Structure 1
């Protein structure tokens, strides 16, 4: 059985297993189902990304397996939006999401931000220990939401 200490977390985009990330997001998640690969590649290029890896801790992606991912859209000064967070199903329940989020929030790029937001349908328990709560003033927030954007692409 793996433990949190087995998980190596990196923000080096060159280590990301983009094929695994794409397969999981586009096939297994309700929020990105059907997403074109090019869209994911643009999203990764414009975001701060974190991968969680098991195996060799040398940083050589050929000798480790990516099992977790998180992406942050941020201006690195005032605001961030946390999205696309997942741990592969067979690796859940081992504390990997908590470890990934702990290291993510320790990132220098995310210090001193006024607001960090996310949207989740069923993982509130994962984010509460990291300071997330319901919107204090939901009436202030609006959105443009095109739920079918990947179906029409």
Structure 2
């Protein structure tokens, strides 16, 4: 992975504006699977990862494709790679959150959660920038 490039891409995403390299690297190190997409020249153009126990569930996060390469199936290919990866073969519940890409995820089999009222969450204050250790 080109961590500088991944950080550059994710820092533009609405869900993690301004993210720093240390956050990106630590998140990847603590993920069950990390996927990258690269163009013919070797430049990184996509990134995705999943957090999982590799038995029951996986949570897909940080799916990003460079704007110049969108609508070419790259995001779908990265998701399919995760869904079909041998290390994730036992996982039977895959989750993700999306604000604006429902149609993209439907193309790879996702549906709106069948029990939205069952979900709960806690939001804690985000640590100040520059305090996360990779």
Q: TM (normalized to structure 1)? A: 0.77
Aligned partner of 2:126 in structure 1 is 149
Question: What is the CA–CA distance in structure 2 between the aligned matches of 1:19 and 1:100, rounded to whole Å?
Answer: 19
> What SS is found at the alignment partner of 1:130?
coil
**Equivalent residues in 2 for 1:89-104 (5 A)?**
89-104=67-82
TM-score, normalised to structure 2's length? 0.87
Alpha-carbon shift at residue 112 of structure 1 (Å):
2.8
Structure 2 unaligned residues grouped into runs of 5+: 130-134
- Report the Cα distance in structure 2 between the residues aligned to 1:114 and 1:107, rounded to whole angstroms: 13
Q: Structure 1 CA distance, aligned partners of 2:26 and 2:89?
A: 24
Match of 1:46 among 16, 30, 39: 30
Which runs of at least 4 in structure 1 moved beyond 3 Å after TM superposition?
A: none
1:108 aligns with 2:86: yes
RMSD between aligned residues? 1.6
Match of 2:60 in 1: 82
